[in-house]
Chains A and B, each alone.
Chain A
Amino acid sequence: DAGITQSPRHKVTETGTPVTLRCHQTENHRYMYWYRQDPGHGLRLIHYSYGVKDTDKGEVSDGYSVSRSKTEDFLLTLESATSSQTSVYFCAISEPDQRATIEQFFGPGTRLTVL
């Protein structure tokens, strides 16, 4: 199994509060991703990173920001949480190679509830 951990695994917070989720990897993979998963929508990409300090927006980036100051850590921040951000958040990593398969390995997920 790829070494990916997420913290916290569960969080309940109130509307308007800031929340930071952490993804940590021990695989030295260059690419890291944050997804949210909601019933009926599947996994949707929020932001991704292709190297330290290099990040880009995904499909559903509004209301989220990210930072990557080290290869192993990718942080997702909700500056002011809203109930629509209640979801399960997955971090994923990948390392491009010459085969260009680039499968992604997923962390265990964080269940966030915004009341």
Chain B
Amino acid sequence: GQNIDQPTEMTATEGAIVQINCTYQTSGFNGLFWYQQHAGEAPTFLSYNVLDGLEEKGRFSSFLSRSKGYSYLLLKELQMKDSASYLCAVRYNNDMRFGAGTRLTVKP
């Protein structure tokens, strides 16, 4: 199988930093994506990693370790509007597999 595991729920405080982890099976790996999905809306693309290391894009960063089958999404300076589900997705050859998503609640 190609299980993609991420925590179901997380809570954090406005202005803080939160890290959402994702682990996946490494065989056939061909890229990792993070998407944000607000309740009742479509997923929107946040970041892409195919090589080891950190990709930074404003308040959001994503890290990949291919040998460990591990990624994280780092959200800094949390805002209330960051309350959403965050989906980790892995491309295996030409097939895309999604994790079940992490629902993040940002509290004042």
Contact = CB atoms under 8 A, between A and B. Distances in A.
Whether chain B is bound by chain A comes out as: yes
B84 interface: no
Nearest to A43: B98
Given A41-B100, A43-B98, A103-B33, A90 B48 contact: no
Contacts of A41: 100
B98 A58 contact: no
Contact of B42 (A33, A44, A101, A109): A109
- Interface size on A, as a range, is 20 to 34
Interface of A is mostly: loop
Nearest to A58: B95
Contacts of B44: 106
B100 A40 contact: yes
A44 B89 CA distance: 11
Interface in B22-74: 31, 33, 41-45, 48, 50
Given A43-B87, A101-B48, A102-B91, A90 B42 contact: yes
A12 interface: no
Interface string A95-115: 000001111111111000000
A44 B98 CA distance: 7
Nearest to B42: A106
B93 to A, nearest CB: 12
B45 A104 contact: yes
A97 to B, nearest CB: 12
Contacts of B42: 90, 106-109
Interface of B: 4, 31, 33, 41-45, 48, 50, 87, 89, 91, 95-101
